[in-house]
Amino acid sequence: MNIQTPTEHQTRIQRLKALTDITHRGLDHRIMAAEPFASRERYGLFLDVQHRFHADVSPLYHSPELGSLLPDLASRCRLEALRQDIAALTGSAPPILTAQTGPLGGPPALGWLYVAEGSNLGAAFLLKEAEQLGLSEEFGARHLAGHPGGRGLHWRSFVAAFNSLPLSNEDEAEAAGGARAAFRRVHALVEEIFA
């Protein structure tokens, strides 16, 4: 297994990626093993996983403290798009969910946001899979849609803001811990919902 080790010459995002690589890859393998695009029913389970995770991170997107650090943070929240996807697929509005993580703040919250924003970057691949089920950015897969300005540009603006944050080495370690916790949360949701 190729294990990434952070170095001082990397950017903060690159170091965070290296520190969370094993946990992230484990989650990716588990999600694909669940075959979330084998049918619309299985995709519905995937939406449930996404809905619960994005309910967990939604308060972070609306935090004034985090919004002052990361520009246009509130506009990046995908919870409402997920709710629309579930309604489109099931014909009824999903329940209103609240965060199950307890209060998150400071560097760990940044780690959770890194996971949520990074998943949007990888959503281009998932959108192609959803299209095989007759879904689209307008029906059932809104939360997988790229930003109107471009998926890559949207990610790069987040990365630039993240890399410029005044964080200490200890803060970075806490952010990595938050990111690993977020990956583990999604992993646990996949295990529960696809069981």
Enumerate domains of the chain plus CATH numbers: 36-193 (1.20.910.10)
Percentage with pLDDT > 70 across the chain: 96
Torsion angles phi and psi, residue 6, rounded to 5: -70, 150
92: left (phi over 0), alpha (psi -120 to 50) or beta: beta
Here the tokens at position 35 are 């075959």
Tell me: pLDDT of 160 over 60.
yes
Q: Tell me the average pLDDT across 133-157.
A: 91
Torsion angles phi and psi, residue 140, rounded to 5: 85, -15
Here the tokens at position 111 are 């780690």
Band (1; pLDDT cuts 50, 70, 90): very low
Here the tokens at position 29 are 């393998």
Band (52; pLDDT cuts 50, 70, 90): very high
Q: What's the pLDDT at 62? A: 95
Per DSSP, 142 falls in state G
Tell me: pLDDT of 94 over 90.
yes
Condensed to tens digits (0 to 9), the pLDDT of residues 177-186 reads 999 999 999 9
Q: Find the radius of gyration of the CA atoms of the chain.
A: 16
Q: Tell me the average pLDDT across 95-102.
A: 92
Q: Tell me the average pLDDT across 10-18.
A: 95
Q: Which residues contact 166 (CB under 8 A, 6 or more apart)?
A: none
Residue-level length of the chain: 195
Q: What's the pLDDT at 3? A: 46
Nearest to 182 by CA among 2, 7, 56, 13: 56
